[in-house]
Structure 1
Amino acid sequence: MPIRIPDNLPARKTLEDEGVNVMDSSRAERQDIRALEFGLLNLMPNKERTETQFARLIGATPLQINLSLVRVTDHQSKNTPEDYLNTFYQTWDEVKERKFDGFIVTGAPIANMPFEEVRYWPEMLEIMEWTRTNVHHTMFICWGAQAALHHFHGARRYRMDEKAFGVFRHKVIGQRSPFLRGLSDSPMIPVSRYNDIDRASLGDNLEVLIDNDEIGLCMLGDRNERAVYFLNHLEYDNRSLADEYERDIKAGLDTPPPQNLFPNGDTSAEPENRWRSHAHLLFQNWINEIYQTTPFDLGKIGTQ
């Protein structure tokens, strides 16, 4: 690889234990190359788990990548200590003058709330507009994808009859997309959402790349906005869905077990990971495409 992250970030030890080559500041400064600049706007409550999941995938490339952790400015986290955020994260106000080769906007646990009622929605609008001029290519995930489709394309989302929850077989539609090179025809992908996008509201500028006839759209490409929208969760680790299920049960919710996750449907067994290779391949394709097309001069991003 390597990936460059803050030296004392807790995710570092997890990644190093998994064999991911993490670069420290002094080593990075000795390399006479133009590292790729990536940002992760982390909207999830469990910041540490989410940053580890994405760093794991970004870090599996032979290219040097500087990963900046970003949070919205107008939001007080209830789940992550402020000193942790101050140590490892920058607010969007602090990075908005910068340019990024790649930028990820995560999901957020506010699926049932209208976009305009989200407290930090005004800042999200600014961030989404900012990606047009300051980011070479953006990946919007889950709620982030729904928000961006709503903002850029006026796409309508609707609540499904029941939550899509589990690991589902999908169909690769956009075989010619550089982001999908090498993916099997029917990858298994983790899903956890109540909402889908009304296909009739999608414009001609969007290309469906991965789909599922029963639970809906998974991935769309957008050349005009230099973006992809991924409605599901290839970044999830083995226990992401299982832990969500256990939280629901402890809260007294009548949530059925995630489909196709536990061996033989036994919720006491350790979940099987059947999507890891697809996750790595998708992210490596995305990073490679960015590397091949981004300007060498960071200042020219958004102008070409």
Structure 2
Amino acid sequence: MPIIIPQNLPAAETLVKENIFVMNEHQAIKQDIRPLQIAILNLMPTKVVTETQLLRVLSNFPVQIEIDLISTETYESKNAPEDHLKNFYKTFNQIKNKKYDGMIITGAPVEKLRFGDVIYWKELKEIMNYTKYNVTSTFHICWAAQAALYYHYGVHNYVVEDKIFGVFEHRVLNPRSELLRGFDDVFYLPHSRYSEMHRDEIEQIDEIEILSDSDEAGIFLVASKDGKYVFASGHAEYDPFTLKLEYERDIAKGLDIHVPKNYFKDDNPELDPIVRWRAHGSLLFTNWLNYFVYQKTPFDINEIK
């Protein structure tokens, strides 16, 4: 079934070329189906790239999905075209009286800052509080996972000396978890961050569980036992060249950055990347939509609580 997106959204052209079924709002309104309502709070500076990545991994679900793209009011991206934000994004004030079956909150390149020093921290706290009562399940990515674990449960994040950067081997810690249904015992996913969470803090909280980790990348996947919140420290949504572009950007800035591990063929940045996470990345989001959103959300969306 299709992803329902705003008419003329730039991501549509890319997705159609990949044979991903997308439908605009005018087409969808003719069908007598209640699509899942999913909000994406996009905190990444590369708005269009992130939109496309997330729509791609959401597209394999068999139920229609209608997307609202959300941006912060307290900070306006310097990289996203103003017209793009005006035409395709809503603010929290515009949607705060609406309920959603699911929400995704993306990462942001602010993990070296204390949470309270992030310009939009107050607004983000308001949004995370909103998800308690108005969203069936919220999926937090990378920095947003750390921010939400801190906000909801008081789990701290810690800056690391060397960037956790590359494609790392992970293990399944709870094979009975619905989020990891169909996963191999060992799988690979990308990470790109300067901070981490500590296992001992998470394990002290009865309401949440560590579902997957990595010897090199640390804690990857945490979820509340009721499925209300999912926290992923890595980037299951990344496309093949995202780490390459991030590496080249950091090199151009003169940063002391190492080649992303297990990413380029023979670890040579002159060669093409090897994609070894696409299937598991897509499966993770499909499982979230199925088991934590679709099967738990009420038929009447106004009954979400």
TM-score under structure 1 length normalisation: 0.97
Alpha-carbon distance in structure 2 between the residues aligned to 1:287 and 1:225: 11
Q: Which whole-Å deviations, capped at 9, do the CAs of 1:192-212 have from their partners, x for residues lacking one?
A: 111111222221211111101
1:235 equivalent in structure 2 = 237
Q: Which whole-Å deviations, capped at 9, do the CAs of 1:220-247 have from their partners, x for residues lacking one?
A: 0113570110011010000111111111
Alpha-carbon distance in structure 2 between the residues aligned to 1:241 and 1:214: 17
Give the deviation of 1:163 after TM superposition.
1.2
1:44 equivalent in structure 2 = 44
1:21 equivalent in structure 2 = 21
Query: Which of the numbers 216, 219, 224 marks the counterpart of 2:218?
Result: 216
Deviating above 3 A after TM superposition, structure 1's stretches of 4 or more consecutive aligned residues are none
> Amino acid of the residue matched to residue 246 of structure 1?
E
2:270 equivalent in structure 1 = 268
Stretch of structure 1 that moved more, 81-90 or 200-209: 200-209
Aligned length: 302
Q: Are 2:40 and 2:67, in contact at CA under 8 Å, matched by a contact in 1?
A: yes
In structure 1, runs of 5+ residues without a counterpart are none
2:48 corresponds to 1:55? no
Q: Which whole-Å deviations, capped at 9, do the CAs of 1:128-150 have from their partners, x for residues lacking one?
A: 00000010000000110000000
1:150 equivalent in structure 2 = 150
Give the deviation of 1:263 after TM superposition.
0.8
Shift in alpha-carbon separation, 1:275–1:225, aligned structure 2, 3 A = closer
2:51 corresponds to 1:70? no
Alpha-carbon distance in structure 2 between the residues aligned to 1:199 and 1:149: 12
Q: Are 1:106 and 1:142, in contact at CA under 8 Å, matched by a contact in 2?
A: yes
Alpha-carbon distance in structure 1 between the residues aligned to 2:70 and 2:25: 19
1:163 equivalent in structure 2 = 163
- SS of 1:133's partner is helix
> Amino acid of the residue matched to residue 294 of structure 1?
T
2:302 equivalent in structure 1 = 299
- SS of 2:33's partner is coil
> Amino acid of the residue matched to residue 293 of structure 1?
K
2:124 corresponds to 1:121? no
Q: Which whole-Å deviations, capped at 9, do the CAs of 1:8-39 have from their partners, x for residues lacking one?
A: 00000000000100012232112112110000
2:111 equivalent in structure 1 = 111
> Amino acid of the residue matched to residue 171 of structure 1?
R
In structure 2, runs of 5+ residues without a counterpart are none
TM-score under structure 2 length normalisation: 0.97
2:221 corresponds to 1:205? no
Alpha-carbon distance in structure 2 between the residues aligned to 1:264 and 1:78: 36
- SS of 2:186's partner is coil
Give the deviation of 1:156 after TM superposition.
1.5
1:136 equivalent in structure 2 = 136
- SS of 2:40's partner is strand
Stretch of structure 1 that moved more, 87-96 or 23-32: 23-32
Alpha-carbon distance in structure 1 between the residues aligned to 2:176 and 2:118: 37
2:184 equivalent in structure 1 = 184
Percent identity (aligned)? 45
Q: Which whole-Å deviations, capped at 9, do the CAs of 1:82-122 have from their partners, x for residues lacking one?
A: 22101000011101111000100000011111000111111
Q: Are 2:198 and 2:219, in contact at CA under 8 Å, matched by a contact in 1?
A: no
Cα RMSD of the aligned pairs, angstroms, is: 1.1
Q: Are 1:136 and 1:301, in contact at CA under 8 Å, matched by a contact in 2?
A: yes
